[in-house]
């Protein structure tokens, strides 16, 4: 029923590896990994192991593997890559902990879509990684997850942004995302003025400055509108419908892990507290 396809595209020396899962021929989920100069950024999902390893075998060499975060569509083939090339993937220290027992944190629908990665050893990453021709800075960028890192090559202006950006307007949020940390990460990264962004969801992006600013503006506008809704005494459901439209289809498919409700709740957690702190009125109805 579920099938997988892999497509590679070159942007200069960077190879984008797009992996798509299809249900009855219709693309449902996609994720990108990237390769440049012996560096592999993320390892895709375990259900497409065969195709992914075949692609990796076609690269001139693989010297270094970095995971942007622990999610199973980014770390799915760590174990097999380690075994095949004798390399220990690197990531945030928390990523190394997550990868000791992936089955403890992967929900059922994600096991179905992506597969469950085997436990894999990893090494904590330093603040800088060098390949033969490039120097990559490792930036802690929490928000999407608590272990998220971006990888930045300052001379080329390349930013490997993992799942930090995703898209300019994202209405669905994971239950464990911290929108305020995400906003802070987006602003810090935008200040570097990257010249090309390699996003794990949207692929290569030519004008990352514009894209990052649009995402920042979208989230800040949403934050202001949520606060306005609280002041008007609206319920969280009313705010959600007003700002994100009716329906919340992913909520049921994903057992509540990804939803519009999570997006509103992520703002409410802090907005409500800060409004109460300054003596705001219009308490929130559930
Ligand atoms: Fe992710």
- Domain ranges for the chain, please list them: 1-129, 134-197+206-286
User: What is the share, in percent, of the chain residues with pLDDT greater than 70?
Assistant: 94
Average pLDDT, the chain: 90
The confidence score (pLDDT) of residue 280 equals: 40
Residue 78 confidence class, pLDDT cut points 50, 70, 90: very high
Express each pLDDT in 217-241 by its tens digit.
999 999 999 889 988 988 888 999 9
Residue 38 confidence class, pLDDT cut points 50, 70, 90: very high
Residue 278 confidence class, pLDDT cut points 50, 70, 90: very low
Residue 108 confidence class, pLDDT cut points 50, 70, 90: confident
Distance 131 CA to ligand 1 centre (A): 25
Residue 274 confidence class, pLDDT cut points 50, 70, 90: low
Distance 48 CA to ligand 1 centre (A): 17
Mean pLDDT of 99-122: 88
For the domain made up of 1-129, the CATH class stated in words is alpha beta
Distance 212 CA to ligand 1 centre (A): 17
pLDDT surpassing 70 at residue 273? no
Token digits of residue 275: 């409004």
Distance 286 CA to ligand 1 centre (A): 29
Residue 208 confidence class, pLDDT cut points 50, 70, 90: very high
Mean pLDDT of 36-44: 98
With contact defined as beta carbons under 8 Å apart, do 159 and 194 qualify?
Answer: yes
Neighbours of 43 (CB within 10 A): 28
Among the listed residues 126, 129, 128, 77, the one whose alpha carbon sits nearest the alpha carbon of residue 99:
77
Distance 271 CA to ligand 1 centre (A): 25
Residue entry with tokens 């879509």: 113
Distance 279 CA to ligand 1 centre (A): 37
The confidence score (pLDDT) of residue 282 equals: 36
Distance 245 CA to ligand 1 centre (A): 24
Distance 68 CA to ligand 1 centre (A): 9
Q: Which residues contact 158 (CB under 8 A, 6 or more apart)?
A: 14, 36, 152, 194, 195, 196, 197, 198
Distance 166 CA to ligand 1 centre (A): 9
pLDDT surpassing 80 at residue 54? yes
pLDDT surpassing 90 at residue 248? no
């Amino acid at each position: 029923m579920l099938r997988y396809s892999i497509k590679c595209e070159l942007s200069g020396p960077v190879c984008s590896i797009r992996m798509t899962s299809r249900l009855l021929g219709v693309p449902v989920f996609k994720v990108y990994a990237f390769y440049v100069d012996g560096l592999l950024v993320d390892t895709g999902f375990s259900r497409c192991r065969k195709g992914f390893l075949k692609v990796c075998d076609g690269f001139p060499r693989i010297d270094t593997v970095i995971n942007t975060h622990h999610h199973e569509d980014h770390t799915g083939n760590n174990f097999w890559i380690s075994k095949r090339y004798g390399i220990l993937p690197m990531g945030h220290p928390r990523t190394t902990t997550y990868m000791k027992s992936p089955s403890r944190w992967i929900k059922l629908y994600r096991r179905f879509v992506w597969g469950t990665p085997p436990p894999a050893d990893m090494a904590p990453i330093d603040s800088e990684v060098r390949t033969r021709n490039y120097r990559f800075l490792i930036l802690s960028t929490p928000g999407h997850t608590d272990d998220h890192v971006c990888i930045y090559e300052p001379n080329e202006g390349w930013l490997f942004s993992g799942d930090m950006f995703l898209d300019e307007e994202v209405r669905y949020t994971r239950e464990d995302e911290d929108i305020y940390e995400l906003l802070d990460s987006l602003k810090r990264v935008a200040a570097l003025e990257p010249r090309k962004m390699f996003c794990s969801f949207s692929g290569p992006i030519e004008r990352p400055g514009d894209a990052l600013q649009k995402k920042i503006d979208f989230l800040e506008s949403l934050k202001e509108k949520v606060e306005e809704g609280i002041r008007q005494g609206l319920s969280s459901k009313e705010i959600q419908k007003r700002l994100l439209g009716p329906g919340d289809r992913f909520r049921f498919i994903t057992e509540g892990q990804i939803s519009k409700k999570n997006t509103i709740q992520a703002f409410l957690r802090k907005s409500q507290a800060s409004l109460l702190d300054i003596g705001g009125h219009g308490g929130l109805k559930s």
